Amino acid sequence: MSSFKQEPHKLLVIPGPIEVADEVLYANAHPSMSHMSADFVPVLGDCIRMTREVLYTTTAQPFIIAGSGTFGWDQVAANLTEPGDSVLLLNSGYFGDNFTECLRAYGAEVDEVRANFGAAADLGEVAKALNAKKYKLLAFTHVDTSTGVLSDAKAIAETVKRVSPDTLVVVDGVCSVGSEEIRFDAWGIDVVLTASQKGLGTPPGLSILVAGQRAIKAYEARTRPVASYYGSWKKWIPVMQAYEKGSAAYFATPPVNLIYAYHASLTQITKGSPSLEERFALHRQASKRVKDAVAALGLKQLPFDSAFAANGMTAVYFPEGIKASDIVPRMLQKDVVIAGGIHKDHKDEYFRIGHMGITVANPERGDIDKIISALKESLAEAFASKKSA
């Protein structure tokens, strides 16, 4: 362990990227290494194994590739759908819209079960849709960061198993892996895709996807070639398997430093303290603290039904007469970086606070207190400034 300390900086509490531990940043500054070297091979191999641990799966195949979370959608579309294949997408916001657009770009026929703004898709409607038509796969955004809506992954997977057991269950876990519990094997999930910069506590730049054996079989059974080169599992499966077994293989140069960083973060998450279970509990507790504090300030939140509230972020409506430019810059003056809205029809109505990773897993940092007190002060200042105007 080095004594590296990152530069003093504003507290970054948007729904990703998130605050990154000194050890992880130091790993990102690792001297340049050959991607084929005996030193690096086990680092990627360990990342593959630890990615499985985070999702409680023993048999699924992880893919760790240079790219953003978005690239996971392309992997799903290119490897698991063929033009004309039917997909059911449960749309709970901005990221649902875009996942649908990606699937259609590859020729899939996408039907949507659209949730109301600030709600998750209705499971009765989902069951009805699955009954009415045969879908090759069902996909949903686990946490749509545009609305703070957490979909019930376990219940959705159960519904699929009951109504249409051959349909693959694909989870966009970009803003949930590492901050929300996902029991890949136990719940019967087929694919989880995510990125490095949220609950996984690593700088952005890694597309991380985990495909269960049913998904791999569906990919193997396709009749047309994969509609991508860089995203083709045909290329990546042998590479991932080789690194896991301890030998190098080449398709495209892996982002070596980011993989060192991811390794450092995964080691904290899977082997450190708090344990993985405790980590999820800490996310729930921190989320409750933030949401209670926001409610105590008299502010409305998204989602409207707290049963669908994500544990890694909070979306808050501006009160009457107050807008983003009254709050976000005042938070910034207090060294706290929050995010504006992103939903296409409502983006000016609310702001977003992220609380994932070390911000919640290392409570001695005091990040949650800092967020709450900065928000309280910023809001008071904003109201005072309106009154005096």
Binding positions for its own copies, rule: CB under 8 A:
4, 6-7, 9, 12, 14, 16-20, 25-26, 28-37, 66-71, 73-74, 77, 101-102, 105-106, 195, 197, 203-205, 207, 225-232, 250-258, 337, 339, 342
Rounded to a whole number of angstroms, the minimum distance from the CB of residue 247 to its own copies is: 13
Q: Report which secondary-structure segment, H or E, holds 316.
A: strand 313-317
Contact by Cβ (8 Å): 157, 187: yes
Q: How far is CA 47 from CA 86, 111, 224, 256, 346, in A?
A: 33, 35, 31, 12, 38
- Burial annotation 13-30 (CB, 10 A radius, 16+ → b, else e): bbbbbbbbbebbbbbbeb
Largest CA distance in the chain: 69
Q: Which of 148, 121, 120, 151 is nearest to 300 (CA)?
A: 148
Q: How far is CA 303 from CA 93, 245, 350, 370, in A?
A: 11, 44, 11, 23
SS3 257: helix
Q: Which is nearer to its own copies, 228 or 362 (CB)?
A: 228
Q: Which two tokens stand for residue 175?
A: 């803003």
Rounded to a whole number of angstroms, the minimum distance from the CB of residue 114 to its own copies is: 20
d(CA 144, CA 64): 22
Beta bridge partners of 133: none
Q: Which is nearer to its own copies, 7 or 320 (CB)?
A: 7
Q: Which is nearer to its own copies, 124 or 246 (CB)?
A: 246
Name the residue type at position 51: T
Rounded to a whole number of angstroms, the minimum distance from the CB of residue 224 to its own copies is: 11
User: Is 52 assigned a ligand-binding role in the annotation?
Assistant: no
Rounded to a whole number of angstroms, the minimum distance from the CB of residue 132 to its own copies is: 27
Q: Which is nearer to its own copies, 12 or 163 (CB)?
A: 12
Q: Which is nearer to its own copies, 41 or 160 (CB)?
A: 41
Q: Which is nearer to its own copies, 49 or 235 (CB)?
A: 235
Q: Which of 242, 311, 274, 337 is nearest to 9 (CA)?
A: 337
Rounded to a whole number of angstroms, the minimum distance from the CB of residue 10 to its own copies is: 8
Rounded to a whole number of angstroms, the minimum distance from the CB of residue 262 to its own copies is: 11
Residues in the annotated binding site: 352
Residues in the annotated binding site for substrate: 352
